[in-house]
Amino acid sequence: MAKQQEQRGRKRPPMGGPQRKRNCFYCKDKIDQVDYKNVNQLRRYISEKGKIRSRRITGACRRHQNQIGIAVKRAREMALLPYVGER
C-alpha cells in the first residue's frame, strides 16, 4: 500500500530523450512585427492540412505566435494562403 502511494507522487522521466531549447525565429533576427505578405515565411507555421501549428512545435515566443496567428488569418482572407491544405 505504501509503495503505491510513493509511485503516485513520483514523476516519470520525459519520453524521447532530452529536449533542445527552441528559440523564436523572429526574436533571433530582431523582427518586431510579423508581416502577412511574407507568405513563404508563414508557410513554415502551417501544417499540410492548413492548420496553424502550436508554439510547442514552432518554437515561437508567445508574442510572435499571436502575431503569426493574426498574420496567417489575414493572409488567408487576402487569398495569399489557402484555408485548407492541398490534397
The verdict on pTM exceeding 0.75 is no
Q: What is the amino acid identity at position 84? A: V
Q: What is the amino acid identity at position 59? A: G
Q: What is the pLDDT of residues 56-83, one digit of tens each?
A: 999 999 999 999 999 999 999 999 999 9
Residue 36 CB-density burial (10 A; 0-12 exposed, 13-18 middle, 19+ buried): buried
Per-residue model confidence (pLDDT) at position 27? 93
The residue written with cell numbers 508557410 in the block is 43
Are 24 and 64 in contact, with CB atoms under 8 Å apart? yes
The residue written with cell numbers 508574442 in the block is 63
Q: Where is average pLDDT lowest: 3-7, 36-40, 42-46, 52-56?
A: 3-7
Q: What is the amino acid identity at position 69? A: G
Are 45 and 52 in contact, with CB atoms under 8 Å apart? yes
Q: Which CATH number fits domain 21-87: 3.40.120.10, 4.10.640.10, 3.40.640.10, 3.40.50.620?
A: 4.10.640.10
Q: What is the pLDDT of residues 33-44, one digit of tens each?
A: 999 999 999 999
